Structure 1
């Protein structure tokens, strides 16, 4: 019998927490301007899980909704924890997990916006959105 792996994480102050069950669908990096601007970093590292693999606890009133996605930030400490781009998937920030070194990205999106000094070996690279040719 195989054991389903449970992993935990949350915001900086610990009032918003999550639990994931099983393995993510994918793990990636994004260099797009939206990810750069909302994180204040040169890229975003994230995991995509099926929505039914994630349980979230806490009063996450800090939703910022756009036509493309919903971003959650915890109002007490300002942490960005997850995004929802669809009704079936949830994007969790890699740095929000309690343990480091759990996952390794396998691809990068918007590579044409990657900082020239940043090296990302052994990643499938997409010039723009994942799966697009240009």
Structure 2
């Protein structure tokens, strides 16, 4: 059995757990992710949606026809980006209990990145999205 991936919001009211291995680990620079997180990018660990257990008060907002964003209903912490049609859900790095156990594999949507952001991590970059 794999080591569990766990996380929670700032106030601790909402949490999640999965025994699944990550599908991929990416940093998204699209404008929707910037708006949803209030940050210049969204770093996330993608796991199978049907293998994630969520507890606590999570609210959802449809940010596009394909993506729903989940956040704690109490403190507002950004927790998830869900693509139900692909059975996938992104767990925000900021909400992970052990974020240093994961490292991004690539940057996506760099065509929309902040102009002052420069990459020196050697990771692959993509101007738009790549398949899950």
Q: What do you get for the CA RMSD once the two structures are aligned?
A: 1.6
Deviation at 1:53, TM superposition (A): 2.6
Quote the Cα distance in structure 1 between the aligned partners of 2:90 and 2:105: 15
Deviation at 1:6, TM superposition (A): 0.8
**Which residue of structure 2 aligns with residue 109 of structure 1?**
108
User: Larger helix proportion, structure 1 or 2?
Assistant: 2
Q: How many residues align?
A: 128
TM-score scaled by length of structure 1: 0.86
Secondary structure, counterpart of 1:19 in structure 2:
strand
Asked which structure has the greater CA Rg, the reply is 1
TM-score by length of 2: 0.88
Structure 2, unaligned runs of 5 or more: none
Contact 1:7/1:19 (<8 A) preserved: yes
Q: Which residue of 1 aligns with 2:22?
A: 24
- Secondary structure at the aligned position of 1:8 is classed as strand
SS in 2 for 1:101: helix
1:118, distance to aligned residue in structure 2 (A): 2.9
Structure 1 unaligned blocks of 5 or more? none
